[in-house]
Structure 1
Amino acid sequence: MSQITARLPDETVSALDRAAKSLHRTRADIIRHAIEAYLEDFDDLSLAVERLRDPCDETVNWQEARRALLADD
């Protein structure tokens, strides 16, 4: 496991300490979880942008999708 050092504004550290105390976790636990969540979102967004930019990717007409989803079986 690697160690990273970062400088944070005092207000951010105070908020981090409050969250850690409230959740009975360490600062490192909160930071680790936040970074993991951010990276998951980043990966999802990167994939979405990649697909939006792909001219060969099939698109779905919203009205057609809506009719299909709301159609009575």
Structure 2
Amino acid sequence: MPQITARLSDELVDALDTAASTLHRSRADVIRQAVESYLEDFADISVALDRLRDPSDECIDWQEARSALLGSD
């Protein structure tokens, strides 16, 4: 498995150590999980943005959606 190096502020290292201690995990485990979570969120946001930018994707007016969902005007 490749190894990478990153510089972190003292405050971030303190927070990392607190999280690792609380979770009974190593720093590497906490960092790995945080990066995986970030990349999953990034992928989801990228898909959502692609869909929003797609001119062939139908958009509906908020008031129309609200009326359809709530059954009122």
Normalising by the smaller structure, the TM-score range is: 0.7 to 0.9
Q: Which amino acid is 1:66 matched to? A: R
Q: CA deviation at 1:27?
A: 0.5
Q: Unmatched 5+ residue regions in structure 2?
A: none
Q: Provide the aligned length of Structure 1 versus Structure 2.
A: 72
Q: Unmatched 5+ residue regions in structure 1?
A: none
Moved over 4 A (4+): none
CA distance in 1, matches of 2:48, 2:35: 20
Q: Return the TM-score normalized by structure 2.
A: 0.86
Q: Percent identity?
A: 68
CA RMSD of superposed structures (Å): 1.5
Alpha-carbon displacement from aligned partner over 1:2-34 (angstroms, at most 9, x marks no partner): 211111111111110011111111101110111
CA distance in 1, matches of 2:61, 2:29: 44
Q: Return the TM-score normalized by structure 1.
A: 0.86
CA distance in 1, matches of 2:71, 2:25: 49
